[in-house]
Amino acid sequence: MNFRLRVWRQPNAKARGKLVDYEARDISPNTSFLEMLDILNDNLLGRGEEPIAFDSDCREGICGVCSLTINGEAHGPDHPGAVCELYMRKFRDGATIIVEPFRVRSFPIIKDLVIDRRALDRIVQAGGFISARAGSAPEANSIPIPKHDADLAMEAAACIGCGACAAACPNGSAMLFTAAKVSHLSLLPQGNPERVARVLKMVQVMDAEGFGNCTNTYECEAVCPAEISASFIAKLNREYARASLRRGAGE
């Protein structure tokens, strides 16, 4: 298969970027998108040209760092899944493919397709964990948890923190990411001691990082590799309202 690639090239955060055309030839349909970029970079290095900078790690849809916008879609056209799980057979032979970084104000471009997603880390650092010392692990059956709550907590915890939700949202909202991180702990008894402080701190940092608000377009849910439900955003709003009332009452 042969493709015409239009790839965003930007030497550094302060420089102006532009789309540059490349040819990718004799690509197997069973080649992953990132492997195709590897092949292109090998050809560029062979010609003495600067390779295209992009992020990858696990290449198994687990880590979320392979965040790219392909033909205007976060993670490309094969949902659910991350870019590393996208194969070239998904595209038509001879197609033109536009490859860009995630376009979110809170994710500044470092170089080419590499973005700084530390804003998501700072949201988690604000309270997306359990800091209370809990001692050794208790016997699994000693803390009864309703199956419905356990299933919801596991669904929320599946978020890989890739940022596709913000990239797909017209407002650049990270509410699906924040909702998943808040929800999976609030549903479990281990998360209850810090439940109020957690949601207030995480939402405060989310807003400070410059992410937009949710207006229910559901693009976040459509592109999420982990298929996180947008219903968690409603839970985030309930958790925030509950915490605000309790904080206002002096609890």
Successive 10-residue mean pLDDT values, the chain, 251 residues: 98 96 97 98 97 96 95 96 96 98 97 97 91 69 86 96 97 97 92 92 97 95 97 96 85 58
pTM of the predicted model as reported, rounded to 2 decimal places: 0.92
CATH superfamily of 118-248: Alpha-helical ferredoxin (1.10.1060.10)
Domain boundaries for CATH 3.10.20.30 within the chain? 3-111
- Residue 228 burial (C-beta neighbours within 10 Å; 0-12, 13-18, 19+): buried
The CATH code belonging to domain 3-111 is: 3.10.20.30
What is the predicted pLDDT for the residue at 129? 83
The CA–CA distances, whole Å, from 93 to 1, 36, 79 equal 5, 14, 20
The residues, ordered by sequence, that sit 6+ positions from 86 with a Cβ below 8 Å of its Cβ are: 32, 33, 70, 75, 76, 77, 78
Q: Is the N-terminal amide bond of 146 cis, ω within 30° of 0?
A: no
Domain boundaries for CATH 1.10.1060.10 within the chain? 118-248
What is the predicted pLDDT for the residue at 143? 79
Does the CA dihedral 226-230-235-239 come out positive or negative? Answer: positive
CB-based contact 12:111 (threshold 8 Å)? yes
What is the predicted pLDDT for the residue at 142? 76
What is the predicted pLDDT for the residue at 221? 97
| Half-sphere exposure at residue 143, Cβ-oriented, CA atoms within 13 angstroms | 12
For residue 132, count other CB atoms closer than 10 A to its CB.
9
